[in-house]
Homo-oligomer: A and B are copies of this chain.
Amino acid sequence: LKMNNMGVAPLWDGLMQFAKQEPASYHVPGHRHGQLYRQYIHETGLLKQGDVIDALAELARIDVTELSVTDDLHEPAGMIKEAQQKAATYFGADHTFFLVGGSTSGNLAIILSSCNVGDLIIVQRNVHKSIINGCKLAGVEVVFLSPDVEQMTGLMTVPSFSTLEAALHQYTEAKAVILTNPNYYGLSVKLEHYIELIHSYNIPVIVDEAHGAHYGLHTSLPQSALQVGADAVVQSTHKTLPALTMAAMLHIKGSRINLDRLQHNLAMLESSSPSYVLMASLDLARALMEHKGKEWIEQALQLIEELINWINKADLCIKLQQIDKSEQDLDQDPFRLLIYDSTTRMDGFELQREFEKYNIWVEMATTQYAVLVIHLSITEKDITQLKETILKITKSIEQKCYFNGHHSPSNRIHYINEATQISLPMKMERYKQYGSKKTILLDAAIGAKSAEMIVPYPPGIPILFEGETITASICEQIKVLTQLGARFQGNTTIEVGEIEVFMND
């Protein structure tokens, strides 16, 4: 492998070289460089060369442990350190930490490293649950900011600039701001001004960029959070780049994050036997992208454009949602397609099931959209299959009676009461027993703490977290959303005007 001989992938290369020397293992793991899998294959004679268990046996050659030559993720000094440095350079960070516990472990660790118990931080309300869990583990006070609405799609992005401005002005004691960008639908906000504003308060900006590991790797792609000055960025490398599932990275830029403390927290939360296969896949992903990324991105973008043009031209009931290009502050990830039925006869979940009928597996669905992640390896043949499938689904839609269709584009429900855009500070605790619960009329619940998480759908953003105080404005917001026809996630009585609250005892 020339790439490795050039030393482009220090960890992958180092593990290969060690494997080639056919070391005799008297250490963990128990498969012994895959030997036990090979023994099974041999003894039972059940497997043919090329089977997945055979691949497992081969890959297990590099599934090693901390030895004098294999470095240590939690105290890197050799090939892991080198691989992390190469990643930092490529992604534009000062320091990069390989994560074997997914973006989850990065989000937990960075929150524990940015604030002490009782500190106040400002957090976008529509975040991944790992951010909420990190806040609970850290025992911080959180001011939640409601996200802004993209008008054409009704999808939520980050909070508006003015909301953030007001929150920072009101809570000058805030120790950090946490944003999520892009969202699950590939919509993202240009964060440069946000970050300048936050830095004017001299506190760090943490960006959960889980869905944007590919951002900034080509001029045709939106800029990455690191490129516009974020202090800490968590990326699910596995989601859009060629790393194995659960392999992610945490990038640090500048000096607002204490690296020792971060390293300590990562070592606390992540396995003390981190997977070398996952780590090597991160090194490989970076090396492959550095080597071939520009070319792959261009090829893929061309094919995506072809598909988009075809859909637009074909004038089908199936459409692609694209944001208004005049919206200067917004970006749309070209690798994420939002497909919907413009006649509203099929909702996103039905579209997803239709695709699955034809062995096409999409990323997710909402009432409105089937969301497709397009990969760097997309081919002309894939595009042809997609076109054919879209035509078949179109036929199914056309055969469908309007009466069974879902009602007017429900994703347009996005009433946010201005008074609730900035929440009251909420004390987050890992395991809080608030006492017993009762279900009461919503109107009677003002001032009480909610015993349930209230998530209207759309947009799927929690209006109330468990333990959050119910204010008059939140109450009004819930009522308006109910009138507009929003549904609520989970087994809740909120649609009939009742809510479960904690009793004061």
Q: Give the CA-CA distance A469 to B30 in the complex, in Å.
A: 41
Q: Is the CB of A236 within 8 A of B382?
A: no
Copies in the complex: 2
Q: Is A117 an interface residue (CB 8 A)?
A: yes
- In the assembled complex, the Cα of A274 lies from the Cα of B245 at a distance in Å of 7
Contact with B along A30-42 (1 / 0, CB 8 A): 1110011101100
CB-CB under 8 A from A65, the residues of chain B are 245
Contacting residues, chain B, for A305 (C-beta < 8 A):
none
Q: Which of B137, B285, B361 contacts A137 (CB 8 A)?
A: B137
How many of chain A's residues have a CB under 8 angstroms from any CB in B? Answer: 112
Contact A273–B28 (Cβ < 8 Å): no
Interface 9-mer from A14-22, A249-257, A315-323, A413-421: A14-22
Q: Cβ of B361 and Cβ of A28 under 8 Å apart?
A: no
A205 at the A/B interface (Cβ < 8 Å)? Answer: no
| B-contacting residues, A269-294, CB 8 Å | 269-278, 281, 284-285, 288, 292
Q: Are B26 and A431 in contact (CB under 8 A)?
A: no
Known: A40-B292, A46-B1, A245-B277. A24 touches B240 (CB 8 A): no
Known: A53-B284, A278-B275, A431-B117. A24 touches B359 (CB 8 A): yes
Asked, given contacts A30-B376, A284-B53, whether A272 binds B104 with beta carbons under 8 Å apart, the answer is: yes
**Could you tell me if B270 and A101 are in contact, using CB atoms closer than 8 angstroms?**
yes
The answer to whether A26 touches B362 (Cβ under 8 A) is: yes
A56–B281 touching, CB < 8 Å: yes
Q: 5 A–B contact pairs at CB < 8 A?
A: A23-B359, A29-B245, A30-B375, A40-B288, A55-B57
* A-to-B contact residues, CB < 8 Å: 1-3, 16, 19, 21-32, 35-37, 39-40, 43-44, 46-47, 50-65, 67-68, 100-105, 108, 112, 116-117, 128-130, 133, 136-138, 213-214, 236-246, 261, 268-278, 281, 284-285, 288, 292, 296, 337, 355-356, 359-364, 372-377, 382, 385, 430-431, 433
Excluding A39-B377, A56-B59, 12 further A-B contacts by CB distance (< 8 Å) are A16-B52, A26-B374, A27-B361, A31-B377, A53-B284, A55-B56, A55-B58, A55-B61, A56-B244, A64-B245, A136-B268, A137-B430
